[in-house]
Amino acid sequence: MNLETISRGFRAMGTNVTIIAGTDADPGTWADAVRIAELVFAREERRFSRFRGESELPRVNGRAGRWTRVSSGFAALAGFALTAARRSGGLFDPTVLPAMIAAGYDRDFDDVIAGARGALNPPVPCGRWREVLLDGDVLYLPDGVGLDFGGIAKGWTVDLAAEAAVSAAGLPWAVVNAGGDLRIAGAPPRPGIQVAVEDPEDRDRELWRLKLLAGALATSSTTARSWGPGSHHLIDPRTGEPAANGVLQATVWAETCAEAEVRSKWALLEGPPALEHTSAVLVTKDGRILMNLETVDLVEAGT
């Protein structure tokens, strides 16, 4: 049985964001929660968008080769991303920006799919996250290195917005869903929030449904942001080219959406062996669905 919920959406970070709560939410509290979530997304987009010239990220990237003082929020996410790169052995790499631009993702995705991009360039080596230094709120980027937080910035913001909807606005529980990457804050009643895992090659078709009681889900896909055969935004740092290992999509559960974002990219690039250490659903190019999400204590899986 589905929970009775109310929802409201807005557009941010290039995707649709939805705030979900129970129908018993106080109207005033609900309105405050939505307003706070919108403000959180607006603030973090001003910080991390690489397509807005006034945002902090292009300013930091433009100072490669020098130490740059950054905001506390920027430093927090940069530290998390660099730690994630170490944990994943570089499969999650926040320095793939030059490789991504070389692959054709050199401007807002709406413009990319409209064909407004320059000629593609040879693959660019990745792995330079090891050379990025962070000392408190001062960051050093080597020459030729650019950061792109992309999905992890979205997951980070989902976490902040969901937590604020409960702690600041006072909702008993809430779900923030940004383009399929979502986080539950508080404790929704059983049976939980039903979440569909979509077919990466047919977004109108569901492959699986999960009943989520806590934590977060994030999905990485080679088909969601694609602009031609073999051209998509998920760069394999081992090659500097768009991933082509036979895995089309990875949906991952973690306690936070930022962590789920890291692990979804890690799982997609590592492939089936990732199921030994990550709670995930993998969809392969040959049509297989590989999963172990039913082993997670706070997730109930079923058709």
Model pLDDT for residues 242-273, shown as the tens digit of each residue: 877 789 999 999 999 999 999 999 999 999 99
Q: In the prediction, which pLDDT does 225 show?
A: 55
Of 87-101, 104-118, 219-233, 242-256, give the lowest mean pLDDT range.
104-118
pLDDT band at 143 (very low <50, low <70, confident <90, very high): very high
Q: Is the pLDDT of residue 47 over 60?
A: yes
Q: Are 155 and 216 in contact (CB under 8 A)?
A: yes
User: At the top level of CATH, which class does the domain 190-303 belong to?
Assistant: alpha beta
Q: How far is CA 162 from CA 22, 63, 150, 184, 228, in A?
A: 14, 33, 19, 7, 35
End-to-end C-alpha distance for the chain, whole angstroms:
13
Model pLDDT for residues 156-165, shown as the tens digit of each residue: 999 999 999 9
Domain 56-147: give its CATH architecture: Orthogonal Bundle (1.10)
Q: In the prediction, which pLDDT does 296 show?
A: 45
Q: In the prediction, which pLDDT does 120 show?
A: 53
pTM for this model (two decimals): 0.87
Mean pLDDT of 128-143: 96
Domain ranges of the chain: 1-50+150-173, 56-147, 190-303
pLDDT band at 85 (very low <50, low <70, confident <90, very high): very high
Query: What's the whole-number average pLDDT of the chain?
Result: 85
